[in-house]
Amino acid sequence: MNKFKLKFSFFAFFLISIFILNLLNISHLTYAQSNGDSLTHSMTFRLLERGENYKEELNVNSLELTFPSDSWNLTSIQMNLTDITFHRETVDVETEVIGLSKRLNKGILGYAVQINLSESTEIYGVEIYGREVNPATSINLTVQINGYDSLSDEPNGTIYGSTTLNMSSTIGWYKQTFTSPVILSKGNYYLILNGTEMIQPDNPSYYWYFNEISPNNPEFFVWEYKGGWTNDVPGEPFLYKLDQRIISEFLPETNNMTAKIGGSFYPISNGLSPKSGVLNIDVNFSLNSTILNIPIFNNKSSIIFNASYFYSANNYLSSEGYVITKVNVENNWTILPDIDKMFDNYSIKFEYPKQWYNIAVKRNNLDITPNVTLDTTNKFILIINNTILNGASWEITANSQNLAPNLNVPQEKFEPLENLQFSINPPVNPGNITFILINSLGFEEYREIIQVVEATTEELVISYTLSSNPTKGTYKAYIYWNNETAAGVVVQEFQINIPFVWNQMYTVLIVVGIIILSTASLTSYKLVKKRKRTHEEYRQKIYNKYMDVLNLDYFIVIEKKTGLNIYQQILATKNIDASLITGFLEAIRTFGIELTGAGEHSQTIKLEYQQSKIIMSEFKDFRILLIMKENPSQDFLDSIEALSYDIDNIHGEEIGNFKGDISSFQDIKNLLDKHLETSLIYPLQVTTQDIKVNQGEKSLIRIAKSIMKKKKTDYFFVANLLSAKSGFQISDAETILNLIKKEIFQPKF
């Protein structure tokens, strides 16, 4: 009998529990994120950067312009070139080697090939292509430049320059350098290989190569000497080069002087003084590099010059920002540009939308709007060079009217499993539409983001199918719309009714409930309450992980005997005031703050110092010091204790024998990441892993890749990911932690 009563009691308890759980609508215990009356939309804004540089260079033949990145556009350049002179160079007159040569010996004592100079020229030497077979022993052969007989076209007796022949048995080019440069006016001359001074018993043999197939100068005269000059075969000039410099005065226009920018050539005009040139042009040239080389050309020879030039460029700076949209409140816009001087004269221009007002500019949280140009007629902000401070934080704020979408709501009352549906009347402008449904308990029931790529004249239908057991009462639908210039929100209420349907099971449950209600109801209530509390505690633990690591500014491990930092890491987005840390550490040393009982067990205290929360944990031979914005959760303090045990387990012996070398303690960073989840504030990258992932994880991976593609980076931040998902969702936060543990999201260093 007792066994039967016991079994019956359990059965009745089971049934009444189901009844109570249904009454409490346990399926609707969700974590409330907000009541839907405000939403923050993250976006990117474009600001126009302008830069101007002035440079001077000496003895160059091209200009080199530098830019901060390859996304800049050159818009203008003004150059002034002075002291333009021809540069010393080696001119290839005939250089194509065919393999044919002529021999100089006692039978033929000399060869000559024509030189044609179009300008007055200074000759430093020549190069000839040949080889020596039998050297002369009685006297050296010479290489010389002789005059040109205009009547017979043969070499005359005037020698302008001469040097001893330099040649060996190896075939190749041989340079012949004159003792003093030979200055020649415009005209014709001859290059001569002279062996006329050879005497018996010399039997020398030298070969000078020529080109008979494709010469550059087939019209050049060639002569050979056999006691007198004899005209050789025409169209077969000897191979030679001239080491020379044109000495005529240089005029840019006469010599077709141009500057090449990209694939275009721009003519350089004559300057006000001789040997000078100017170029002033406006261009729109897109760079593919941070350095733009502008070569300078002419139709004569290589040149060198002194240059002073001024150039300007522009670029569109992508800046993060957001708009906060609230019900019945004007929109608040914020832009957070990263501004640093990158030119001698640098400025930022932002053309704001015409519907924006209350424009303000802050630098380091101070309003400097009076110091910038705010043109309310043409709708732009100009921040000039003198206003910009490198390393400063910037913020541009504005307001705009709430432009609420126009809704068409054919039905406002619904029942379970019905399709809650309405539409946005045209025109529907491009932007993002966010639909948030809040149930009668004030919890978020549903959220959907719709991207409108282009304006449409058709209605945009939005719908949501109610569950089989929705909560009864008034639901609120918040419909947000925004783009880069405007935003708005409208609220629509719907009434959810639950029709009464009697079920015979209710009779059984009521009868059984009456019998055991006095004993079972209290137990069931406690179970429900415990389950709800456990559920909420788990969600709170996930939330605390994120909040604690975001509050963490500074982490230090200190060796107790010496008081030296053996490891430290800054985790704040801005540098921590050094005086804060120094002051606190000095307080520890001065007053001897020390925890008793911190030998085998970790002991932790919490202090406040200069508006910061100081957490100090001691364990054996070291103490851990953490500086935080706010007090951490108990879970965080428990993690510090576990971290202390791991540090001691790995480095306890080294710390006990510490001699001043801290290089072996750098892997404490890995322990910090493991216990305090600091990976959540690092830049993260997506890695390919052969690991099974669920649909939620796949969705976050896709969003992360989309963020990196949009920002053109190979990393992202957790804050970007949560913003893309429209706020902090516990399920998303838990999924991100799982992806980090699976090493699919990995810190990028």
Q: What is the 3-state secondary structure (H, E, C) of 343-359?
A: CCEEEEEEECCCCCEEE
The tens digit of pLDDT for each residue in 27-37 reads 333 333 345 78
The last residue of one of the domains, among 400, 429, 445, is 400
Residue 556, domain member (yes or no): yes
335 in the same domain as 378: yes
Q: In which residue are the tokens 């349907």 written? A: 501
**Per-residue pLDDT band at 8 (split at 50, 70, 90):** very low
Provide the residue range defining the domain that includes 534: 2-27+502-546
Question: What residues have CB less than 8 Å from 228, skipping those under 6 apart?
Answer: none
Residue 671, domain member (yes or no): no
User: Where does residue 343 fall: left (phi above 0), alpha (psi -120 to 50 degrees), or beta otherwise?
Assistant: beta
**What is the model's pLDDT at position 244?**
94
491 in the same domain as 390: no
* Angstrom distance (rounded) from CA 704 to CA 721: 6
726 in the same domain as 716: yes
Residue 299, domain member (yes or no): no
**What is the model's pLDDT at position 114?**
96
| Rounded average pLDDT over 607-616 | 81
Burial of residue 702 (number of CB atoms within 10 Å: 0-12, 13-18, 19+):
exposed
State yes or no: pLDDT of 409 exceeds 90.
yes
| Rounded average pLDDT over 466-490 | 93
424 in the same domain as 375: no
104 in the same domain as 222: yes
Question: What residues have CB less than 8 Å from 577, skipping those under 6 apart?
Answer: none
The tens digit of pLDDT for each residue in 629-639 reads 888 888 888 88
449 in the same domain as 555: no
State yes or no: pLDDT of 16 exceeds 90.
no
Spatial contact of 177 and 125, defined as CB atoms under 8 Å apart: yes
Per the model's pLDDT, the better-predicted residue between 575 and 379 turns out to be: 379
Residue 214 belongs to domain with CATH number: 2.60.120.820
140 in the same domain as 228: yes
Q: In which residue are the tokens 């170029």 written? A: 279
Per the model's pLDDT, the better-predicted residue between 736 and 151 turns out to be: 151
596 in the same domain as 537: no
State yes or no: pLDDT of 124 exceeds 90.
yes
Spatial contact of 188 and 163, defined as CB atoms under 8 Å apart: no
The last residue of one of the domains, among 359, 384, 400, is 400
From 53-67, 480-494, 567-581, the region with the lowest mean pLDDT? 567-581
Residue 623 belongs to domain with CATH number: 3.30.450.190
Residue 231, domain member (yes or no): yes
Residue 279, domain member (yes or no): no
361 in the same domain as 471: no
What percent of the chain is modeled with pLDDT above 70?
Answer: 87
**What is the model's pLDDT at position 201?**
67
Question: What residues have CB less than 8 Å from 176, skipping those under 6 apart?
Answer: 125, 126, 127, 128, 143, 163, 165, 166
Residue 696, domain member (yes or no): yes
The whole model's pTM is what? Answer: 0.54
The last residue of one of the domains, among 496, 519, 535, is 496
**Per-residue pLDDT band at 725 (split at 50, 70, 90):** low
The tens digit of pLDDT for each residue in 316-352 reads 999 999 999 999 999 999 999 999 999 999 999 999 9
235 in the same domain as 101: yes
From 378-382, 432-436, 546-550, the region with the lowest mean pLDDT? 546-550
237 in the same domain as 110: yes
Max Cα–Cα distance, the chain, nearest Å: 150
Residue 408, domain member (yes or no): yes
Give me the chain's average pLDDT, please. 86
Q: How many domains does the chain have?
A: 6
* Angstrom distance (rounded) from CA 17 to CA 436: 33
136 in the same domain as 242: yes
Residue 386 belongs to domain with CATH number: 2.60.40
User: Using H for helix, E for strand and C for coil, what is the string for 314-377?
Assistant: EEEEEEEEEEEEECCEEEEEEEECCCCCCCCEEEEEEECCCCCEEEEEEECCEECHHHCEEECC
Residue 130, domain member (yes or no): yes
